[in-house]
Structure 1
């Protein structure tokens, strides 16, 4: 065979790279039920679609050149449901997938190609942080800051991260910059490992407490979804990307509508309690409005008085931003404010129309809220909604009180405002309004109190709002899906691409 020696050399180099950190380390992962870097790509990508870039890269230092196959990061291109993506999969079996001079170049190349060619970028995170010998001293400092846009997030294409093990350094940074981050239970994410942190602060630090899934899904909000296995995390990545365009210059994709979907609208009345003070889970209403099984919730464990997620209505991708009275009666706390604002940024960046489902008694006020910068969070939200250019449709289901009326798409903050007959438009709860305006409690004068209460409620009805043409229609709740289908066709009929004024909004704030 011609060129046999060269082809044999190629096979030898290829086998070395594919062996990763060696059979002993790979066997340990199998025993632990954790996929390795290349197996993760097999699950994530369409079959036989992966094109590797940098397979023969090695660590830059002579002493590690022979023991750093692919320099610990497997990178390249593949397809997800037929669409091209760029991907970086960290190989923890090779020096803990530590960041180095060479594999940093691989990440940069993937980032540049994804941006220039308009394709999503996926990071499969598991890394020990910086490779110390590469980063020590003046030469190590000189490595940093050579790429001025390394940490620029301009949202030209979607970025997605899966946190699948111990994630420090670059895995943390890129997760915080991603549009969606899914975390496997047992993984951690932090600036540095618990060992390094313990040494730095001279006290023991528990890894789970430092950067576990409960912290990031429930307290920091940096993680959008939590799953049990690598496979579930990779399927979540695939599903998230299915709702998004490949880049911000394309409309969001449209899919077929599952049979029986249009019958779900009848479930709205069953989900909405008769009593205006009875709590309920708004997710039941969401599932009655959107295409069957299409609601993909984001940040379900964080800021729970607002529910956010991607869904489809008549096959179109939409963003759902809904008050959820099941938690705190729907009162909007600081975490919910942050969650809502970041969701507006996501939808506007990728041409996804937004549907507000409104049932809120206002913002959760108090000294803790003020200490956590409530006025600034509220105005951040208003700044964001003012910059949103995608179609916005607001549906006032029950309460819509105070300043939050505007934050939830009231007035000119939505292109279309609909109300149900159950809508209640006031500045505060009507009973509280009587007490504030007339310094009167029911026990003081029940007859007068009830008369004043009825007066306030009449002025707060959807009919008063409709008379001022501040709501464009008052509809039967069972017709909500039908109305949304029609309005989305009006506003997105030819495929909508927005102005992306929020594309540089901070990713973590």
Structure 2
């Protein structure tokens, strides 16, 4: 056979790359129920669609060249539901997938290609951080910062990260730069490992406490969703991408509308309480307005008094920002402010219309909120909202008090605003206002209290707002889905992509 020697060398190099860190390390992962870097790609991508770049890359130092197949990062391109994506899957069996000069070049090449050609980037994180001794001393400093755009996001295409093991260094940086992050329980994300951190601060540090899923889904908000297995994480990546366009220059894909989606809205009053003080879970309301089974919530454990979620409306992707009275009565706390702002940026960057479902008593005030910079967070939210150019629709279901009326799409901050007949649009709860303004308590002067309460509540109804043409419609709640479908169809006419004024907004702050 011609070129038998050369083709034999190709086969040998291919086998060596596919062997990754060796059978012993791969067997240990199988025993732990954890996929390896290439199995993850098989699960993530459409069958047979992966084209690898840099299979024969190796570590730059002679002492690691023979034990660094693909230099610890499997990179290339494939398809998800037929759409092209760029992927980087860290291979922890090879030098802990540590960051090096060569695999850094691979990542940069994939990043540049997805930006230039308009496709999502999927990053499957698991890494030990910087490779030593490459990063030591002055030569190590010279390696850093050679790409001035390495840590800059212009959101020309969506980035999705899956944190699937120990994630330090680059896996952490890229996770924090991504638009969506899913984490396998048991994985960690931190600046440095618990061992390094323990040595630095002189005390033992638990990896879960340092950077586990509970911390990042409930406290920092850096992770959107936590799941139990690698397989669930990769399926979650596929699902979230189904709501997003391939690039900022496109609109999201349109899905088939499941049967029964319109009928569900007729039972909305079954889950919305008649008493204005009763608690309910707004997700049950969203489920009756959106296409059936399309609700996909982001950050459900963070800032719980506000829901941010992707849904589909008549097959089209929509972002929902909804107050949730189940938690803190729907009062908006500092975490909710951060959550809302980041979601506005995400939706506007990728051409997803926004729907606000409003039932809030105002911002959660107090010393703790002030210490955490609540006023600045409120203005960050308003700054972002003022720059959003995707269609914005707002529905006041029950309460909408104070400055938060604007943050939730009131005034000129929405393209159309509707109220349900039970809407209450005062500056604060009337009973509280009587105490604040007049110092009168119901228990002490019930008749005067009721008279003052009636006076404070004057002109706060849906009809008063509609009379001023500040509300553009008053809806039977059962007609909400129909109204939203009509309004969204109206605003899809003509220009269909955002002006992307928020493309350079920080990914975390």
Q: Say whether residues 1:50 and 2:11 are aligned partners.
A: no
In the aligned structure 1, how far is the partner of 2:479 from the partner of 2:60?
64
Instruction: Judge which range, 489-498 or 97-106, deviates more.
Output: 489-498
Could you tell me which residue of structure 2 aligns to residue 5 of structure 1?
5
In the aligned structure 2, how far is the partner of 1:107 from the partner of 1:202?
35
Could you tell me which residue of structure 1 aligns to residue 325 of structure 2?
325
Could you tell me which residue of structure 1 aligns to residue 141 of structure 2?
141
Could you tell me which residue of structure 1 aligns to residue 63 of structure 2?
63
Secondary structure of the residue aligned to 2:133 is: helix
Q: Say whether residues 1:488 and 2:488 are aligned partners.
A: yes
CA apart distance, 1:321:
0.4
Could you tell me which residue of structure 1 aligns to residue 207 of structure 2?
207
In the aligned structure 1, how far is the partner of 2:408 from the partner of 2:229?
36
In the aligned structure 1, how far is the partner of 2:284 from the partner of 2:269?
10
CA contact (8 A) 1:26 1:36 kept: yes
CA contact (8 A) 1:186 1:212 kept: yes
Where in structure 2 are the equivalents of 1:31-430 lying within 5 Å? Answer: 31-430=31-430
Residue deviations 1:374-414, cap 9 Å, x none? 10000000000000000000000000000000000000010
Count of equivalent residues: 509
Residue deviations 1:219-270, cap 9 Å, x none? 0000000000000000100010110100001112211100111101012111
In the aligned structure 2, how far is the partner of 1:195 from the partner of 1:432?
52
In the aligned structure 2, how far is the partner of 1:171 from the partner of 1:95?
15
Residue deviations 1:328-349, cap 9 Å, x none? 0000000000000000000000
Q: State the 4+ residue runs in structure 1 displaced beyond 4 angstroms.
A: none
Could you tell me which residue of structure 2 aligns to residue 22 of structure 1?
22
CA contact (8 A) 1:401 1:426 kept: yes
In the aligned structure 2, how far is the partner of 1:172 from the partner of 1:242?
24
TM-score by length of 1: 0.99
In the aligned structure 2, how far is the partner of 1:218 from the partner of 1:443?
39
Secondary structure of the residue aligned to 1:183 is: strand
In the aligned structure 2, how far is the partner of 1:414 from the partner of 1:270?
28
In the aligned structure 1, how far is the partner of 2:385 from the partner of 2:430?
27
In the aligned structure 2, how far is the partner of 1:224 from the partner of 1:388?
22
In the aligned structure 1, how far is the partner of 2:119 from the partner of 2:369?
40
CA contact (8 A) 1:306 1:323 kept: yes
Instruction: Judge which range, 431-440 or 230-239, deviates more.
Output: 431-440
In the aligned structure 2, how far is the partner of 1:102 from the partner of 1:112?
16
Show structure 2 runs of 5+ residues with no match: none
Q: Say whether residues 1:453 and 2:468 are aligned partners.
A: no
TM-score by length of 2: 0.99
In the aligned structure 1, how far is the partner of 2:439 from the partner of 2:189?
52
In the aligned structure 2, how far is the partner of 1:460 from the partner of 1:441?
22
Could you tell me which residue of structure 1 aligns to residue 467 of structure 2?
467
Instruction: Judge which range, 95-104 or 493-502, deviates more.
Output: 493-502
In the aligned structure 1, how far is the partner of 2:200 from the partner of 2:81?
45
Where in structure 2 are the equivalents of 1:494-505 lying within 5 Å? Answer: 494=494, 496-505=496-505
Instruction: Judge which range, 495-504 or 145-154, deviates more.
Output: 495-504
In the aligned structure 1, how far is the partner of 2:321 from the partner of 2:29?
40
Root mean square deviation, CA, Å: 0.8
CA contact (8 A) 1:251 1:495 kept: no
CA apart distance, 1:273:
0.6
Residue deviations 1:416-465, cap 9 Å, x none? 10100111101010111122233222223222322232333341110000
CA contact (8 A) 1:166 1:189 kept: yes
Instruction: Judge which range, 450-459 or 34-43, deviates more.
Output: 450-459
CA apart distance, 1:5:
1.2
Secondary structure of the residue aligned to 1:369 is: helix
Instruction: Judge which range, 249-258 or 63-72, deviates more.
Output: 249-258
In the aligned structure 1, how far is the partner of 2:139 from the partner of 2:147?
16
CA apart distance, 1:133:
1.2
In the aligned structure 2, how far is the partner of 1:185 from the partner of 1:167?
12
In the aligned structure 2, how far is the partner of 1:373 from the partner of 1:32?
43
Residue deviations 1:275-320, cap 9 Å, x none? 1001110000000000000010000000000000111000110000
Secondary structure of the residue aligned to 1:252 is: coil
